[in-house]
Amino acid sequence: MLNRIIFLVCSLILFTACHQQTNSNGEKIPVIGASMLSLQSEFVVNLKDAMGAHAKEKNVELIVNDAQRTAEKQVQQVETFISQKVDAIILNPCEVEASSPAIAKAKAAGIPIINVNSETSATPDGFVGSKDEQAGEIAMEQIAKLLGEKGNVVMIDGYMGQAAQIKRAIGAKNILTKYPDIRILAEQTAEWDRAKAMSLMENWIQSYGNKINAVFAHNDEMGMGALQALEQAKLKDKVIVVSIDAIADALQAVKDGRLDATVFQDAKGQGTGAIDMALQLIKKQPLENNAIFIPFQLVTKENVEGYMKK
């Protein structure tokens, strides 16, 4: 009985894998497999939605898998895509090194693979994303401007060792070399988590109190946590808070004049760009540019309206 069930399940999987849809003209509809970093992250969910919407528009079948921040799972997913014989693979890498075998495997199988949002050490056929250093630079430049190039900053890091954390920190520190009168008072991780950032900020307020002039948080969740801690301590009007991602909550806070600025990362631009590039590779069209960088944008109270609908 059990054998039969297993057989049934296996044949069903094989059937769906081999099953190729065709459009009204009888042409084969291209299939793109996407392995995403984590569908528990709001930005990645937005990226996935943008890819899905654009795939629908272009009449492409998109299979989305969630790698749940595990590079090993991601490599397995790409292996499954290869055995499913998809026409192209979009990789939203979990890790710089550990996700690289996925690139090698797809290339060996002759399936075009492109990275979206972040990089791997192995070179894919194409890349669409942003430079995380730039986000750190834009945020810190804005802090320097608002501080009048002088003051003490505390920095709330993302999850230590992840590409976004490392690069955003590098970008911020690059800018600080230009401003000798701005000092990093303390730096600590809150693991991208709002509650953790709030506790951290409360503790910093105890130890540094009025010495803190500005907060730079590697993402908006943590920025919002720091903001709430400062508001509860009635210090917000004395401290500048800038973070990255432009999530809905942060945009509202910028509009309300609570958060000083956030940095917009263009999920829609990256998602549609990745689908377009995948289609070009499927049709074997030459790419004018195999690395497309979508710039980050500073969002302040002056221009926030334009981002709230995106």
C-beta of 152: minimal distance to another protein in Å?
A: 13
Q: Which of 118, 228 has the CB closer to another protein?
A: 228
Residue 252 or 300: the one with the smaller Cβ distance to another protein is: 252
| Shortest Å, Cβ 91 to another protein | 19
For the CB of residue 252, give the shortest distance to another protein in the complex, in Å: 7
**Alpha helices, DSSP H, located in the chain:** 2-18, 42-57, 71-84, 100-108, 132-147, 163-176, 194-208, 220-232, 248-255, 267-282, 305-308
Minimum distance between the CB of residue 261 and another protein, rounded to whole angstroms? 19
- CA separation, residue 97 to residues 146, 158, 224, 286 (Å): 38, 19, 31, 28
Helix axes 42-57, 267-282, angle to 10 degrees: 40
Give me the least distance between CB of 187 and another protein, in Å please: 8
Q: What is the DSSP letter of 211?
A: G
Determine whether 188 is exposed, middle or buried from the number of CB atoms within 10 Å of its CB (0-12, 13-18, 19+): middle
Distance between CA atoms of residues 164 and 159, nearest Å: 9
Is the Cβ of residue 39 or residue 282 nearer to another protein in the bound state? 39
Nearer to another protein, 70 or 290 (CB): 70
Q: Minimum distance from CB of 172 to another protein (Å)?
A: 17
Measured from the CB atom, is 90 or 224 closer to another protein? Answer: 224
Rounded CA separation 286/284 (Å): 6
Nearer to another protein, 102 or 201 (CB): 201
Element (H, E) at 182: strand 182-189
> Under the rule (CB under 8 A), what is the footprint of another protein?
39-42, 45, 157, 160, 186, 188-189, 193-195, 198-200, 202-204, 206-207, 221, 224-225, 228, 232, 247-249, 252
